[in-house]
Protein backbone atom coordinates (compact mmCIF):
# COMPACT_ATOMS: atom_id res chain seq x y z
CA UNK A 1 0.00 0.00 0.00
CA UNK A 2 2.83 2.39 0.88
CA UNK A 3 4.58 1.68 -2.41
CA UNK A 4 1.35 2.28 -4.32
CA UNK A 5 0.82 5.59 -2.53
CA UNK A 6 4.30 6.69 -3.54
CA UNK A 7 3.62 5.71 -7.14
CA UNK A 8 0.45 7.78 -7.05
CA UNK A 9 2.48 10.71 -5.77
CA UNK A 10 4.47 10.50 -8.97
CA UNK A 11 1.23 11.01 -10.90
CA UNK A 12 -0.18 13.68 -8.61
CA UNK A 13 2.92 15.89 -8.38
CA UNK A 14 2.99 17.28 -11.93
CA UNK A 15 -0.79 17.55 -12.25
CA UNK A 16 -1.26 19.24 -8.88
CA UNK A 17 1.74 21.42 -9.66
CA UNK A 18 -0.10 22.64 -12.74
CA UNK A 19 -3.24 23.28 -10.72
CA UNK A 20 -1.37 25.29 -8.10
CA UNK A 21 0.87 27.45 -10.26
CA UNK A 22 -1.80 27.97 -12.92
CA UNK A 23 -3.53 30.43 -10.61
CA UNK A 24 -0.34 32.43 -10.20
CA UNK A 25 -0.65 33.53 -13.83
CA UNK A 26 -2.98 36.27 -14.97
CA UNK A 27 -5.47 33.76 -16.32
CA UNK A 28 -7.98 36.51 -17.10
CA UNK A 29 -5.95 37.38 -20.20
CA UNK A 30 -6.32 35.15 -23.28
CA UNK A 31 -3.27 33.52 -24.77
CA UNK A 32 -1.66 35.85 -27.29
CA UNK A 33 -0.98 34.82 -30.92
CA UNK A 34 2.71 34.57 -30.04
CA UNK A 35 2.00 32.21 -27.15
CA UNK A 36 -0.36 30.10 -29.23
CA UNK A 37 2.14 29.76 -32.09
CA UNK A 38 4.79 28.80 -29.56
CA UNK A 39 2.78 26.02 -27.93
CA UNK A 40 1.20 24.68 -31.13
CA UNK A 41 4.41 24.58 -33.17
CA UNK A 42 5.22 20.89 -32.42
CA UNK A 43 1.80 19.57 -33.51
CA UNK A 44 0.38 22.01 -36.07
CA UNK A 45 1.54 19.75 -38.93
CA UNK A 46 -0.24 16.66 -37.59
CA UNK A 47 -3.09 15.32 -39.76
CA UNK A 48 -6.26 17.31 -39.06
CA UNK A 49 -8.08 14.42 -37.38
CA UNK A 50 -5.23 13.51 -35.03
CA UNK A 51 -4.53 17.17 -34.27
CA UNK A 52 -8.14 17.82 -33.26
CA UNK A 53 -8.19 14.76 -30.99
CA UNK A 54 -4.90 15.73 -29.33
CA UNK A 55 -6.30 19.19 -28.57
CA UNK A 56 -9.56 17.75 -27.22
CA UNK A 57 -7.73 15.26 -25.01
CA UNK A 58 -5.37 17.94 -23.65
CA UNK A 59 -8.32 19.33 -21.71
CA UNK A 60 -8.34 16.16 -19.57
CA UNK A 61 -4.77 15.95 -18.18
CA UNK A 62 -5.52 13.43 -15.44
CA UNK A 63 -7.01 11.03 -17.96
CA UNK A 64 -3.95 11.57 -20.17
CA UNK A 65 -1.82 10.34 -17.26
CA UNK A 66 -4.03 7.30 -16.74
CA UNK A 67 -4.04 6.41 -20.43
CA UNK A 68 -0.27 6.78 -20.67
CA UNK A 69 0.18 4.38 -17.77
CA UNK A 70 -2.10 1.90 -19.50
CA UNK A 71 -0.13 2.26 -22.73
CA UNK A 72 3.19 1.65 -20.95
CA UNK A 73 1.75 -1.47 -19.31
CA UNK A 74 0.54 -2.76 -22.69
CA UNK A 75 3.46 -1.99 -25.03
CA UNK A 76 2.44 -4.51 -27.69
CA UNK A 77 -0.92 -2.82 -28.31
CA UNK A 78 -0.94 0.06 -30.81
CA UNK A 79 -3.25 1.46 -33.44
CA UNK A 80 -6.85 0.31 -33.64
CA UNK A 81 -6.09 -2.75 -31.50
CA UNK A 82 -5.12 -0.54 -28.56
CA UNK A 83 -8.23 1.61 -28.95
CA UNK A 84 -10.45 -1.47 -28.99
CA UNK A 85 -8.85 -2.65 -25.75
CA UNK A 86 -9.84 0.54 -23.86
CA UNK A 87 -13.34 0.82 -25.27
CA UNK A 88 -14.94 0.35 -21.84
CA UNK A 89 -12.58 2.65 -19.92
CA UNK A 90 -14.08 5.73 -18.30
CA UNK A 91 -11.86 8.19 -20.17
CA UNK A 92 -13.09 10.71 -22.72
CA UNK A 93 -13.32 9.42 -26.30
CA UNK A 94 -10.45 11.68 -27.39
CA UNK A 95 -8.15 10.25 -24.71
CA UNK A 96 -9.07 6.68 -25.68
CA UNK A 97 -8.22 7.41 -29.31
CA UNK A 98 -4.67 8.45 -28.41
CA UNK A 99 -3.65 5.03 -27.09
CA UNK A 100 -3.34 4.22 -30.81
CA UNK A 101 -0.27 6.52 -30.85
CA UNK A 102 1.95 5.73 -27.84
CA UNK A 103 4.61 8.33 -28.65
CA UNK A 104 2.03 11.11 -28.92
CA UNK A 105 0.42 10.06 -25.64
CA UNK A 106 3.77 9.77 -23.88
CA UNK A 107 4.75 13.26 -25.00
CA UNK A 108 1.55 14.74 -23.59
CA UNK A 109 1.98 12.81 -20.34
CA UNK A 110 5.63 13.83 -19.96
CA UNK A 111 5.00 17.58 -20.43
CA UNK A 112 1.81 18.19 -18.51
CA UNK A 113 2.25 21.95 -18.19
CA UNK A 114 2.39 22.23 -21.99
CA UNK A 115 -0.50 19.79 -22.32
CA UNK A 116 -2.75 21.78 -20.03
CA UNK A 117 -1.96 25.00 -21.86
CA UNK A 118 -3.01 23.31 -25.11
CA UNK A 119 -6.22 22.11 -23.49
CA UNK A 120 -7.04 25.46 -21.92
CA UNK A 121 -6.50 27.23 -25.24
CA UNK A 122 -8.71 24.75 -27.08
CA UNK A 123 -11.49 25.08 -24.50
CA UNK A 124 -11.62 28.87 -24.34
CA UNK A 125 -10.01 30.10 -27.59
CA UNK A 126 -10.85 27.55 -30.27
CA UNK A 127 -10.93 30.07 -33.11
CA UNK A 128 -7.60 31.57 -32.04
CA UNK A 129 -6.13 28.04 -31.91
CA UNK A 130 -7.36 27.39 -35.46
CA UNK A 131 -5.87 30.70 -36.65
CA UNK A 132 -2.53 29.79 -35.07
CA UNK A 133 -2.50 26.38 -36.74
CA UNK A 134 -3.11 27.97 -40.12
CA UNK A 135 -0.40 30.61 -39.55
CA UNK A 136 2.08 27.87 -38.75
CA UNK A 137 1.06 25.75 -41.72
CA UNK A 138 1.46 28.76 -44.02
CA UNK A 139 4.99 29.28 -42.65
CA UNK A 140 5.84 25.61 -43.28
CA UNK A 141 4.40 25.78 -46.79
CA UNK A 142 6.43 28.90 -47.54
CA UNK A 143 9.55 26.92 -46.62
CA UNK A 144 8.43 24.05 -48.89
CA UNK A 145 8.03 21.87 -45.81
CA UNK A 146 4.30 21.21 -46.12
CA UNK A 147 3.34 19.21 -49.18
CA UNK A 148 1.72 15.99 -50.33
CA UNK A 149 3.88 12.92 -49.69
CA UNK A 150 3.30 9.14 -49.60
CA UNK A 151 2.27 9.65 -45.95
CA UNK A 152 -0.09 12.62 -46.24
CA UNK A 153 -2.27 14.61 -48.61
CA UNK A 154 -2.12 18.40 -48.34
CA UNK A 155 -4.80 20.52 -49.98
CA UNK A 156 -5.91 24.13 -49.66
CA UNK A 157 -9.26 25.82 -49.30
CA UNK A 158 -9.96 29.42 -50.26
CA UNK A 159 -7.60 31.80 -52.01
CA UNK A 160 -5.47 34.85 -51.43
CA UNK A 161 -5.35 35.81 -47.78
CA UNK A 162 -8.04 33.23 -46.99
CA UNK A 163 -6.07 30.09 -47.83
CA UNK A 164 -6.60 27.28 -45.32
CA UNK A 165 -4.32 24.23 -45.30
CA UNK A 166 -5.91 20.80 -44.87
CA UNK A 167 -3.76 17.77 -43.93
CA UNK A 168 -5.18 14.27 -44.35
CA UNK A 169 -3.60 10.79 -44.33
CA UNK A 170 -2.70 9.58 -47.81
CA UNK A 171 -4.31 6.29 -46.80
CA UNK A 172 -7.24 6.92 -44.39
CA UNK A 173 -6.54 3.61 -42.66
CA UNK A 174 -2.85 4.31 -41.93
CA UNK A 175 -1.95 7.35 -39.85
CA UNK A 176 1.61 8.70 -39.91
CA UNK A 177 2.73 11.09 -37.20
CA UNK A 178 5.38 13.61 -38.30
CA UNK A 179 8.27 14.53 -36.05
CA UNK A 180 10.11 17.74 -36.81
CA UNK A 181 12.22 20.54 -35.45
CA UNK A 182 9.97 23.64 -35.51
CA UNK A 183 12.93 25.98 -35.88
CA UNK A 184 13.79 24.25 -39.17
CA UNK A 185 10.30 23.53 -40.51
CA UNK A 186 8.84 27.03 -40.06
CA UNK A 187 11.90 29.02 -41.07
CA UNK A 188 12.87 32.28 -39.32
CA UNK A 189 10.82 32.60 -36.14
CA UNK A 190 9.22 36.05 -35.75
CA UNK A 191 8.88 36.02 -31.94
CA UNK A 192 12.33 35.78 -30.27
CA UNK A 193 10.74 36.11 -26.83
CA UNK A 194 8.50 33.11 -27.56
CA UNK A 195 10.67 30.44 -29.18
CA UNK A 196 8.74 27.41 -30.44
CA UNK A 197 8.30 24.47 -28.11
CA UNK A 198 10.39 21.50 -29.26
CA UNK A 199 10.24 17.99 -27.80
CA UNK A 200 12.39 15.70 -29.95
CA UNK A 201 11.73 11.97 -30.07
CA UNK A 202 13.47 9.97 -27.38
CA UNK A 203 17.18 9.67 -28.08
CA UNK A 204 17.11 11.99 -31.11
CA UNK A 205 17.93 15.61 -31.80
CA UNK A 206 16.56 16.36 -35.23
CA UNK A 207 17.45 19.17 -37.59
CA UNK A 208 14.68 18.48 -40.10
CA UNK A 209 11.50 16.49 -40.70
CA UNK A 210 11.02 12.77 -40.08
CA UNK A 211 8.15 10.37 -40.45
CA UNK A 212 7.44 7.92 -37.68
CA UNK A 213 5.87 4.52 -38.08
CA UNK A 214 2.50 4.34 -39.80
CA UNK A 215 -0.23 3.07 -37.49
CA UNK A 216 -3.28 1.13 -38.62
CA UNK A 217 -5.51 3.55 -36.75
CA UNK A 218 -8.16 4.69 -39.21
CA UNK A 219 -10.90 3.46 -36.88
CA UNK A 220 -9.52 5.66 -34.08
CA UNK A 221 -10.23 8.86 -36.01
CA UNK A 222 -13.63 10.36 -35.22
CA UNK A 223 -13.21 14.10 -35.77
CA UNK A 224 -12.09 16.70 -38.29
CA UNK A 225 -11.58 20.44 -38.50
CA UNK A 226 -13.95 22.77 -40.29
CA UNK A 227 -11.56 25.54 -41.28
CA UNK A 228 -14.16 28.18 -42.22
CA UNK A 229 -12.27 31.42 -41.79
CA UNK A 230 -13.51 33.18 -38.68
CA UNK A 231 -15.75 30.26 -37.76
CA UNK A 232 -13.48 27.25 -37.32
CA UNK A 233 -14.61 24.32 -35.21
CA UNK A 234 -14.14 20.59 -34.77
CA UNK A 235 -16.72 18.20 -36.21
CA UNK A 236 -17.43 14.90 -34.43
CA UNK A 237 -18.51 11.79 -36.33
CA UNK A 238 -20.97 10.37 -33.81
CA UNK A 239 -21.10 6.88 -35.28
CA UNK A 240 -17.32 6.61 -35.31
CA UNK A 241 -17.09 7.95 -31.74
CA UNK A 242 -19.58 5.34 -30.56
CA UNK A 243 -17.50 2.61 -32.19
CA UNK A 244 -14.51 3.79 -30.14
CA UNK A 245 -16.24 4.48 -26.84
CA UNK A 246 -18.91 2.39 -25.13
CA UNK A 247 -19.64 5.40 -22.90
CA UNK A 248 -19.86 8.08 -25.60
CA UNK A 249 -22.52 10.65 -24.73
CA UNK A 250 -24.17 12.27 -27.75
CA UNK A 251 -25.26 15.14 -25.52
CA UNK A 252 -21.66 16.37 -25.33
CA UNK A 253 -21.84 17.66 -28.92
CA UNK A 254 -24.24 20.25 -30.24
CA UNK A 255 -26.95 19.75 -32.85
CA UNK A 256 -24.54 20.49 -35.69
CA UNK A 257 -22.08 17.82 -34.59
CA UNK A 258 -19.61 20.36 -33.21
CA UNK A 259 -17.31 19.26 -30.40
CA UNK A 260 -17.83 20.71 -26.93
CA UNK A 261 -15.58 20.26 -23.91
CA UNK A 262 -17.04 17.84 -21.35
CA UNK A 263 -16.21 19.00 -17.78
CA UNK A 264 -17.21 15.59 -16.42
CA UNK A 265 -13.78 14.33 -17.55
CA UNK A 266 -11.78 17.25 -16.11
CA UNK A 267 -11.13 15.40 -12.84
CA UNK A 268 -11.01 18.52 -10.68
CA UNK A 269 -8.10 20.18 -12.50
CA UNK A 270 -8.77 23.95 -12.30
CA UNK A 271 -9.55 25.88 -15.46
CA UNK A 272 -7.21 28.71 -16.34
CA UNK A 273 -9.46 31.75 -16.43
CA UNK A 274 -12.47 33.02 -14.46
CA UNK A 275 -14.82 32.98 -17.47
CA UNK A 276 -14.15 29.30 -18.17
CA UNK A 277 -14.46 28.42 -14.49
CA UNK A 278 -17.82 30.17 -14.39
CA UNK A 279 -18.91 28.50 -17.64
CA UNK A 280 -18.30 25.07 -16.16
CA UNK A 281 -19.38 25.96 -12.60
CA UNK A 282 -15.95 25.47 -11.06
CA UNK A 283 -14.78 27.37 -7.99
CA UNK A 284 -11.99 29.87 -8.51
CA UNK A 285 -9.66 27.81 -6.36
CA UNK A 286 -9.99 24.17 -5.38
CA UNK A 287 -11.31 24.06 -1.82
CA UNK A 288 -10.62 21.24 0.60
CA UNK A 289 -13.51 19.14 -0.70
CA UNK A 290 -12.34 19.48 -4.28
CA UNK A 291 -8.79 18.57 -3.32
CA UNK A 292 -10.05 15.46 -1.55
CA UNK A 293 -12.14 14.53 -4.59
CA UNK A 294 -9.12 15.04 -6.84
CA UNK A 295 -6.97 12.97 -4.49
CA UNK A 296 -9.61 10.26 -4.52
CA UNK A 297 -9.42 10.10 -8.30
CA UNK A 298 -5.69 9.61 -8.01
CA UNK A 299 -6.10 6.89 -5.40
CA UNK A 300 -8.40 5.02 -7.76
CA UNK A 301 -5.95 5.25 -10.66
CA UNK A 302 -4.81 1.72 -11.53
CA UNK A 303 -1.12 1.05 -11.26
CA UNK A 304 0.99 -0.35 -14.07
CA UNK A 305 0.77 -3.77 -12.47
CA UNK A 306 -3.03 -3.65 -12.27
CA UNK A 307 -3.24 -2.60 -15.91
CA UNK A 308 -1.06 -5.56 -16.81
CA UNK A 309 -3.37 -7.99 -15.04
CA UNK A 310 -1.36 -8.21 -11.80
CA UNK A 311 1.40 -10.06 -13.61
CA UNK A 312 4.93 -9.40 -12.43
CA UNK A 313 6.78 -7.55 -15.19
CA UNK A 314 9.57 -9.34 -16.95
CA UNK A 315 13.12 -8.04 -16.84
CA UNK A 316 12.64 -6.68 -20.35
CA UNK A 317 9.44 -4.88 -19.34
CA UNK A 318 11.09 -3.36 -16.28
CA UNK A 319 13.94 -2.14 -18.45
CA UNK A 320 11.48 -0.60 -20.93
CA UNK A 321 9.34 1.03 -18.25
CA UNK A 322 12.33 2.50 -16.45
CA UNK A 323 14.16 3.60 -19.60
CA UNK A 324 14.72 7.27 -20.32
CA UNK A 325 15.17 8.84 -16.91
CA UNK A 326 16.37 12.08 -18.45
CA UNK A 327 13.63 14.70 -18.37
CA UNK A 328 13.46 17.32 -21.11
CA UNK A 329 12.51 20.88 -20.34
CA UNK A 330 8.77 21.11 -19.81
CA UNK A 331 8.24 24.50 -21.42
CA UNK A 332 10.74 25.99 -23.82
CA UNK A 333 10.58 29.68 -23.05
CA UNK A 334 7.19 31.28 -22.57
CA UNK A 335 5.87 34.48 -21.03
CA UNK A 336 8.83 36.52 -22.27
CA UNK A 337 11.05 33.48 -21.83
CA UNK A 338 11.14 33.64 -18.02
CA UNK A 339 7.93 33.15 -16.07
CA UNK A 340 6.98 29.82 -17.64
CA UNK A 341 10.43 28.47 -16.95
CA UNK A 342 9.88 29.33 -13.30
CA UNK A 343 6.48 27.61 -13.41
CA UNK A 344 7.98 24.47 -14.92
CA UNK A 345 10.75 24.43 -12.34
CA UNK A 346 8.23 24.62 -9.49
CA UNK A 347 6.38 21.64 -10.91
CA UNK A 348 9.60 19.69 -11.31
CA UNK A 349 10.65 20.50 -7.74
CA UNK A 350 7.48 18.78 -6.56
CA UNK A 351 8.26 15.75 -8.72
CA UNK A 352 11.86 15.71 -7.51
CA UNK A 353 10.72 15.63 -3.89
CA UNK A 354 8.60 12.58 -4.64
CA UNK A 355 11.40 11.02 -6.68
CA UNK A 356 13.87 11.37 -3.81
CA UNK A 357 12.07 8.71 -1.82
CA UNK A 358 14.00 5.39 -2.00
CA UNK A 359 10.91 3.45 -3.04
CA UNK A 360 9.90 5.83 -5.79
CA UNK A 361 9.88 4.31 -9.27
CA UNK A 362 11.00 6.81 -11.89
CA UNK A 363 8.51 7.44 -14.65
CA UNK A 364 9.79 6.96 -18.15
CA UNK A 365 9.20 9.67 -20.70
CA UNK A 366 10.36 7.71 -23.71
CA UNK A 367 8.24 4.57 -23.62
CA UNK A 368 6.00 3.13 -26.29
CA UNK A 369 5.41 3.72 -29.92
CA UNK A 370 8.46 2.27 -31.57
CA UNK A 371 11.31 4.05 -33.26
CA UNK A 372 11.44 6.26 -36.30
CA UNK A 373 11.60 4.84 -39.79
CA UNK A 374 12.20 6.65 -42.98
CA UNK A 375 14.22 9.80 -42.99
CA UNK A 376 14.39 13.47 -43.49
CA UNK A 377 11.94 14.84 -45.98
Which 8-state DSSP code applies to residue 146?
S
Indicate the SS3 state at residue 65: helix
Which 8-state DSSP code applies to residue 200?
P
Segment 300-326 mean pLDDT: 41
Which range among 171-180, 228-237, 242-251, 350-359 has the greatest average pLDDT?
171-180
Cα separation, 220 vs 241, whole angstroms: 8
Segment 255-282 mean pLDDT: 92
Cα separation, 74 vs 76, whole angstroms: 6
Question: Which sign does the torsion angle of CA 9, 3, 100, 220 carry?
Answer: negative
How do residues 61-79 score in pLDDT, each as one tens digit? 999 999 999 999 999 999 9
Provide the mean pLDDT of the chain: 77
| pTM for this predicted structure | 0.74
Is the pLDDT at 275 greater than 90, yes or no?
A: yes
Is the pLDDT at 307 greater than 70, yes or no?
A: no
Segment 35-43 mean pLDDT: 98
Cα separation, 98 vs 56, whole angstroms: 11
The alpha-helical segments, DSSP class H, found in the chain are 2-22, 33-40, 48-57, 61-73, 79-85, 93-98, 102-110, 112-124, 126-142, 182-185, 238-244, 274-279, 288-299, 304-307, 315-321, 335-355
Comparing CA positions, the residue from 205, 6, 220, 219 lying closest to residue 94 is 220
Amino acid sequence: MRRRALMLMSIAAPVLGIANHGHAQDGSKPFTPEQLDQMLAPIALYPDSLLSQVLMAAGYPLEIVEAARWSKANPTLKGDAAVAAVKSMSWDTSVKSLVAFPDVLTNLDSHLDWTQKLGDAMISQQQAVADSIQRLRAKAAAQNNLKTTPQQKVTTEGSGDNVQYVIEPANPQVIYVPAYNPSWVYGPWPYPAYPPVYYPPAGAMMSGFFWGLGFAAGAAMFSSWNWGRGNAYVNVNVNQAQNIDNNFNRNTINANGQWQHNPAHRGGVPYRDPATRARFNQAARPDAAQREQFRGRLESTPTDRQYAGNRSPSAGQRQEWNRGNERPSAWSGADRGQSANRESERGYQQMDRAASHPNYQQRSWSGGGGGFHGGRR
